[in-house]
Amino acid sequence: MLKTFDLVLIGVMTATAAVTYTIKHRAELKLEEVHRLEAEIKLEKDTIDLLKADWALQSQPNRLERLVKAYDDELQLQPTESTALVHAKELPMLKSEVPLPDVTEAKASAKGATVASAKGATVAGAKGATAKAQPIPVPAPHAGAEDDADADEIETGSVE
């Protein structure tokens, strides 16, 4: 009896060791993946920093002034007046405040027009001419309603 109990314990210990090794191996793989992702993130951040530095060099006022003078004949650029720049808040009506057309009124007027044209068609049909009712175009619902709210918050670079 003692020998079977010993064999059962050895089997349990072997199974436990195998599970522990498997968990350790998976943890090492995850750690390698984390290090790889951290290296990719660092590379992307370095690339972003490099692009920001390049943009700073490309958009230097004295460089842009030289380019404007060099290509003045082709571009015909003129300075923008500071009064021409405004915030979206300063515009008369924001996109989000534009009223949507009332679809029920459009449908009712279309039905009335169809009935009237049908009556006219019977009269005209008696005379030999046919008339067709033209459907009133109704705008489709806008899928990117969330984008409209963001579009109202766009900064235009005005000086306050």
pTM above 0.85, yes or no: no
Q: Which residue has the tokens 């692009």?
A: 51
Q: Each residue's pLDDT tens digit in the chain (160 positions)?
A: 679 999 999 999 999 999 999 999 999 999 999 999 999 999 999 999 999 999 999 999 999 889 888 998 898 888 777 777 777 777 777 677 777 777 665 565 655 555 444 444 444 444 444 445 556 655 555 555 444 444 445 555 545 4
C-alpha to C-alpha distance for 133 and 33, rounded to whole angstroms: 66
Tell me the H-state helices in 59-80. Answer: 61-70, 72-75
Residue type, 27: A
